[in-house]
Amino acid sequence: MDSTARLFPENAHRALEDRQLQSALARFGEGFPVKRRNAIDRLPEFEALRDAGKAIKEHTLEHLDYYLEQFETKVTEVGGRVHWCTDAEAARQKILEICRASGARTVTKAKSMIGEEIGINEFLEHHSVKPVETDLGEYIIQLRHEPPSHIIVPAVHLSKEQVADAFRAAHPQFPSDRVLEEPRVMLDEAREVLRREFLSADVGITGANMLVAETGSIILVTNEGNADLTQTLPRVQIVIASIEKVVPTLEDATTILRLLARSATGQELSVYTTFTTGPKRPEDLDGPEEYHVLLLDNGRTSMLGNEFKEMLRCIRCGACINHCPVYAAVGGHAYGWVYSGPMGAVLIPNLIGVGEAGHLPNASTLCGRCEEVCPMRIPLPRMLRQLREKQFEAKLSPKPIRWGLWGWAFLARRPALYKLAMRVGVGTLGAIGRRRGRFRSLPMASGWTQARDLPSPQGPTFQQLWSARGGRRQ
Amino acid sequence: MRAHRPTVGLFVTCLVDTMRPSVGFAAVKLLESAGCDVIVPAGQTCCGQPAYNSGDTADAAAIARQVIEAFAKVDYVVVPSGSCAGTIKVHYPELFADDPKMRDAVQRLVERTWELTSFLTEVMQTGPIASSYPHKVTYHDSCSGLRELGIKAQPRALLAQVEGVELTELQTAETCCGFGGLFCVKYPEISGKIVDAKVDDVLASGADTLLGGDLGCLLNISGRLHRRGANVHVRHVAEVLADATGDTPAIGEGK
């Protein structure tokens, strides 16, 4: 997927002006946070579970090579194949190669953020293989030729009227005067269309919520069951997963599953939680005959060795996004690449570069709500700050900010001079503004006064008044 | 009562120093009435947070050293801001994590540093000055104080002892107001959208006063309330606790 992260302020401006989007974001609002809170209140051991989940991931990341190789061995033992892909291009080529070898013309897909990351749909289309998204939200945005705006609710930015319009345009086989108002009716229509695709697809591509090293299993979590049809019906199954998805044991996986659904949607367990191990065995009634797992690095191994390693604990629940005031204001598309919210603001610069995505870590108030709700206790604010350090060191931050900071720090490091400067500045502003109490606009302060009045300083500084009153200094 | 009167160094904070000295004097009044001797070391300017949050760790560390030195001799450092206190208590140790020579000095500062309302309730175990504020008030929990220092119950416990205060809670008391330091001037449109949601909630609460413990957030919320023509007073909680509201106009209000 091409990035527009560099244009974050423009993207955000458009998002704030988009009334339809704003009403969708308002509807989204506190729904998931409230459900999450309720689910956690019903589970007294939730905090202990977070510690356990974090410990599992920390251990796995320390021994990632071992568990990935164990996973590969197990997958091979049950008749599957593992393909190691260093980057998006390698993954795309491997998928195309498998599709070509099986003569595939149609591919069904279950929702996969790795699929978005490597831009697999455009690539397959370009090579005359038709990808069909089968998660309802993904299906809708595929029809609209747009990326997901949220990692677990990809079409959250849309109204049902926009969905109806997309269905009318894409489904000419139905009467054009049909009524498409109720979500249930649209769901039935999508189901009818997708059922045919499920039955005719040659290859099924899914992601994986986890990979289990001890058994070679993959775990998929959905609320629609579409991933199950995607992996059982076609003759060939391809699983695409990034390397940090591996956990050592089934026991570990269940610990993380208990955290995942509660943190994401407030469910105790997602409706479908499916464990799949290898291709169809002789005694099985159905399942794929060929089974491939693509393990994608795409920048993860370099994070393993740096200060962003903890980001690799992320289980993609979306809790940080659901609780982020910036995401709530501008939605997911403004971030300009596959991911969004706090996890996106950390991950995107790591995957596509801090030069391209430098706005994202800055567009945060560092309010800390993301870290508070992260089931894996990922220190997201700390990493946002560290990305800012990288920018500052590389002199990538905007010049006015750097110079302003330099001037301010120059004064702040010289208390006597600082006091004098503040006295002069504040004295002037205070003398002008005191009567009315505030400024509606002020030269050099348009960033502030664009959105709000600037309260006037009271007058002399505290330091001045304290000295005048003979207050103790030591 | 304590036998010994502790010496408290007031860390004024740059915003209180420049924008609203009355908050500093309210803090002094509260500390003195709680039985402390208050000094204001001359060597202080800012805690360094703007540099730290902008990725400028060298300047942040230089400013932090200045703070450590200026407050080396007091029993406690008290800060009328959860955000600046959080910078000292949570982020100074990170800033000097690789500097073993600084570890002890940082640790000593961290242990002695308190946000104002938590110092009054937890260390001095005292209440407000006999004060009266007959208003329906609501309270914004600033993010850093809330999440870095656990400040939530302390200001409410103190306000409950002020005559006439009727506290009504916001739905979004724990949601960011959109200030975020330099964030609010770097991304003013987004900041404006976030503070609008806060203002909507303040207006829905029916309170005539919004209180909080961090001047940055309060300047932001007050500025947006005024821009929208709303008639809600915004004050730092210390002013109400110190009975210092009488002749001091609320934030953004003229004489």
**For chain A, what percent of residues have pLDDT higher than 70?**
100
Q: What percent of chain B has pLDDT over 70?
A: 99
pLDDT at B63: 97
pLDDT at A356: 95
Please state whether A175 falls in left (phi above 0), alpha (psi between -120 and 50) or beta.
beta
pLDDT for the residue A327: 98
| Beta carbons of A473 and B189 less than 8 Å apart | no
The helix (H) or strand (E) run that includes residue B37 is: strand B37-39
Phi/psi of residue A219, each to 5°? -120, 130
pLDDT of A44: 95
What mean pLDDT comes out for the span B212-237? Answer: 97
Is the separation of the CB atoms in B183 and A9 below 8 Å? no
Q: Do B252 and A438 touch (CB under 8 A)?
A: yes
For residue A396, pLDDT beyond 90? no
- What is the tally of helices (H) and strands (E) in chain B? 14, 8
Chain A partners of B189 at a C-beta cutoff of 8 Å? 9, 12-13, 16, 450-451
Per-residue pLDDT, A443:
81
Which candidate in B38, B45, B59 is best for mutational testing of the A interface (most A CBs within 10 A)? B45
**Which tokens go with B97?**
């994590």
Percent of chain A past pLDDT 90, that is, above it, reads 92
Bridging pattern class, strands A130-133 and A106-109: parallel
| Residue pLDDT, tens place only, B84-119 | 999 999 999 999 999 999 999 999 999 999 999 999
Check residue A434 and give its pLDDT.
85
Query: B8 vs A257, B43, B151, CA distance in Å?
Result: 50, 15, 20
Give the CA distances from residue A102 to residues A109, A201, A279, A304, in Å, rounded to whole numbers and listed in that order. 16, 11, 15, 36
Determine, for residues A415 and B52 on separate chains, whether the beta-carbon distance falls below 8 Å: no
* Mean pLDDT estimate for chain A: 96
Distance from C-alpha of A312 to C-alpha of A378, rounded to nearest angstrom: 9
Of the candidates A329, A438, A460, which has its C-beta nearest B194's C-beta?
A329
Asked whether residue A324 carries a pLDDT value surpassing 70, the answer given is: yes
Distance (Å) from the alpha carbon of A132 to chain B's nearest alpha carbon? 36
What pLDDT does residue B235 have? 98
Average pLDDT rounded to a whole number, residues A284-313: 96
Longest dimension (CA), chain A: 92
Domain residue ranges of chain B, discontinuous segments joined by +: 7-123, 136-241
- Indicate which of A14, A360, A367 best probes the interface with B, i.e. most B CBs within 10 Å of its own CB: A367
Q: Is B71 on the interface with A (CB under 8 A)?
A: no
Q: Which long-range contacts (CB under 8 A, 24 or more apart) does A302-306 make?
A: A303/A350, A304/A61, A304/A64
CATH entry 2.60.40 includes domain B136-241: no
- B210's tokens: 């919004």
pLDDT of residue B255: 76
Q: Give CA–CA dist B73/B57, Å, rounded.
A: 25
Residues 6+ apart with CB under 8 A from A65: none
Tokens of B176: 């960011």
Please report the pLDDT score of residue A1 as a whole number.
78
A441 vs A310: which has the higher pLDDT: A310
Closest CA relative to residue A167, chosen from A133, A131, A193, A129: A193
Q: Which residue of A has its CA nearest to B52?
A: A385
Shortest CA distance from A15: residue in chain B: B190
> Which pLDDT band, with edges at 50, 70 and 90, does A169 fall under?
very high
Residue B4: pLDDT above 90? Answer: no
Contact B147 A372 (CB under 8 A): yes
Nearest-angstrom CA–CA distance, A456 and B224: 14
CB contact under 8 A, B147 and A463: no
Alpha-carbon distance of A14 to A455, in angstroms, equals 29
Q: Which residue has the tokens 């004050």?
A: B235
The predicted pLDDT at position A235 comes to 96
The answer to whether the CB atoms of B255 and A397 lie below 8 A apart is no
Name the strand (E) or helix (H) holding B183: helix B183-186
Span between the terminal Cα atoms of chain A, in Å: 61
pTM for the structure as a whole: 0.96
Whether the per-residue pLDDT at B1 is higher than 60: the answer is no
Pairwise CB contact (< 8 Å): A422 & B143? no
- Report chain A residues whose CB lies below 8 A from the CB of B147: 367-369, 371-372
Pairwise CB contact (< 8 Å): A330 & B193: yes
Q: CA–CA separation, A473 vs A192, rounded Å?
A: 79
Q: What is the value of ipTM here, to two decimals?
A: 0.97
Tell me the nearest-neighbour CA distance from B245 into chain A, angstroms. Answer: 14
Q: How far apart are CA A59 and CA A249, in angstroms?
A: 12
User: DSSP 3-state assignment of A239?
Assistant: strand
Per-residue pLDDT, A34: 96
Q: Is the pLDDT of residue A221 over 70?
A: yes
User: Residues A231-247: pLDDT tens digits?
Assistant: 999 999 999 999 999 99
Question: In terms of pLDDT, which residue wins out, A110 or B128?
Answer: A110
Residue A437 to residue B255, Cβ atoms within 8 A: yes
Count of residues making up chain B: 255
- Cβ <8 Å between A461 and B40: no
Q: Which residues of A touch B84 (CB under 8 A)?
A: none
Closest CA to A337 of A305, A359, A370, A362: A359
- Binary contact (B46, A412; C-beta < 8 A): yes
Confidence band, pLDDT 50/70/90 cuts, at residue B2: low
Domains, in order of start, for chain A: 43-301 (3.40.50.10420), 399-468 (no CATH)
Cα–Cα distance measured from residue A118 to residue A92, given in angstroms and rounded to the nearest whole number: 7
Q: What is the pLDDT of residue B3?
A: 62
A-B Cβ pairs (cutoff 8 Å, strict): 230
Distances A320 to A265, A266, A448, B112 between C-alpha atoms, Å: 12, 13, 27, 33
Tens of pLDDT, residues A79-131: 999 999 999 999 999 999 999 999 999 999 999 999 999 999 999 999 999 99
